[in-house]
Amino acid sequence: MRIALAVEYDGSGFRGWQKQPGGGTVQDALQEALQEFAGTPIGVVCAGRTDAGVHALGQVVHFDTALDRPMFSWVRGINTFLPPAVAVRWAQAVSDDFHARFSAYARRYRYLLINRAHRSGLGHGRVGWYHQPLDLPAMQEAARLLLGERDFSAFRAAECQANSPIKTMHRADIQRSGELFVFDFEASAFLHHMVRNLVGSLLHVGKGRRPPEWIAELLALGDRRLAAPTFAAAGLYLAAVSYPPHFDLPSVDETLLLAGGPGL
């Protein structure tokens, strides 16, 4: 039997998603909890690896097992053995052709940024921060230049292992609610550090250091050295992963991110 899970986590205390020697990753925590509950080692495959300090509201994973238990039992049982910062939101049996990574046709990331003179205490580790005023209309104009099929080499980390830098951006939107700026990106797939690199460059536009059309120049030149530095991981969330309707997976309630999360 193949089972899909939706997992949320606060990445602040983890070394990223990917299992590593010495442990300390979200995958380590999830697989250890699965083993405790199932009584046998179980490996998982995720929709998209996240870096150290990056969070998830709707990470999707799948695993194979011979155990036949109710889906609610998987949720409650795994959560019993997970650390407080990680939780399974739902479990669902899926067909053998489902693959958490390769069956997905889009991923959505959200970046939360506090824009005020002083940093956030309650938002520590969960929001990014910039202290000077930002020009929202200029950033929105720049973000629109990211839409469509593009070569995102200028926003690709040097250690990125993706086969191609060409991705299709379906959504690149920035909204403001008081001191909170919310960046939403949805694409077919993302390169390593791509969202944090995009946020960094869009902030250069928001600060007035570059005009909005600078983003188009970066896309055309494809040189990572010309773009802005990678921005902080703290405000980045893997918000949702989209799959074809025939898999009939539950949606993820994004209430926690609609207003920037509790305490913000």
Q: How far does the chain reach from its first CA to its final CA, in angstroms?
A: 41
- Check 51, 151, 173, 184 and give the catalytic one: 51
Q: What are 197's two structure tokens?
A: 């690199």
Buried (b) or exposed (e) across 87-125, using 16+ Cβ within 10 A?
ebbbbbebeeebebbebbeebbbbbbbbbeeeebeebee
Residue type, 224: R
Estimate to the nearest angstrom the gap between the alpha carbon of 22 and the chain centroid: 24
H-helix or E-strand spanning residue 52: none
CA–CA separation, 55 and 247 (whole Å) = 25
Estimate to the nearest angstrom the gap between the alpha carbon of 59 and the chain centroid: 8
Q: Helix or strand or coil: residue 5?
A: strand
Residue type, 23: G
Q: What is the DSSP letter of 11?
A: G
In this structure, the number of other CB atoms found within 10 A of the CB of residue 41 comes to 9
CA–CA separation, 40 and 120 (whole Å) = 43
Question: Are residues 34 and 5 in contact, defined by beta-carbon separation less than 8 angstroms?
Answer: no
- 51 flagged as catalytic: yes
Question: Which residues does the annotation mark as catalytic?
Answer: 51
